[in-house]
Amino acid sequence: MAARLVRAGVTLRNQVNAKWPSRDKRSDGWIGDAAHAARKSDHNPDADGWVHALDIDKDGIDADRLANELVAYARNLEPGSRRLKYVVFKGRVASGTYPDKFWVWRNDPSLGHWEHIHASFTAAAELDGRPWPLPCLSLVPKLPPVVKWDDLKNGSPTQNRLVQQALRLPIDGKFSTTKGPLLRYRLRTLSPTMRAALTRLGKASGLFRVP
């Protein structure tokens, strides 16, 4: 089986690239070199070809924030966070291994990793490529939500269905304003493709615009 990065890792890398398009990738990595292969490493493909680790160069991105938000995401047990096994950056490691240090940075300068963030993934990450809902990866400027349920209620059934699919929201046709927070969350985590599709739909229909 050809080696490939777990889907959650591919998504994370894509999100980082989308957020910081001109970032430095020289310290990026995923599949292990000969030195890695000689020892146990999540960079080595498993029996099915899955590589469970990703290195993200610290340059040209907000690396401290990204590392901290990955850890906070796991600590808060947010949906999908069990895909993350541990994170190493700047002589520190955080993981869910020890109940008394659950996703809290532990100092160990011998761990190194001064040039890149190392993220290790669990088996849950192999097929789960959902976006990582980290605030620092959001492509949406911090503005009030522009799409409002009240704006959508005059949409045709077809338009409403498209919006429903794009946002992966259970819309009942009434567009209750109580779904506002969920709508804001979905907008933040939209893939670039979905965002483009939704933007086009909003323009064509004149019903809403996507920030």
Binding site for Zn ion (CB under 5 A): 55, 118
The minimum distance between CB 167 and Zn ion, in angstroms, equals 34
Max Cα distance, the chain (Å): 62
**In this complex, which beta carbon is closest to Zn ion, that of residue 30 or of residue 208?**
30
The minimum distance between CB 141 and Zn ion, in angstroms, equals 32
The minimum distance between CB 67 and Zn ion, in angstroms, equals 13
The minimum distance between CB 41 and Zn ion, in angstroms, equals 8
The minimum distance between CB 54 and Zn ion, in angstroms, equals 7
**In this complex, which beta carbon is closest to Zn ion, that of residue 83 or of residue 118?**
118
Locate all alpha helices (DSSP H) within 76-191, ordered by sequence: 149-152, 157-167, 180-188
HSE on the CB side for 155, CA within 13 Å?
Answer: 28
**In this complex, which beta carbon is closest to Zn ion, that of residue 58 or of residue 118?**
118
- Residue whose beta carbon is closest to Zn ion: 118
Distance CA 55, CA 191 (A): 22
Phi, psi at residue 9, to the nearest 5°? -70, -40
Distance CA 13, CA 132 (A): 10
**In this complex, which beta carbon is closest to Zn ion, that of residue 55 or of residue 207?**
55
**Long-range pairs for 195-201 at CB < 8 Å and ≥24 separation?**
195/139, 197/162, 197/166, 198/163, 198/166, 198/167, 201/159, 201/162, 201/163, 201/166
**In this complex, which beta carbon is closest to Zn ion, that of residue 111 or of residue 169?**
111
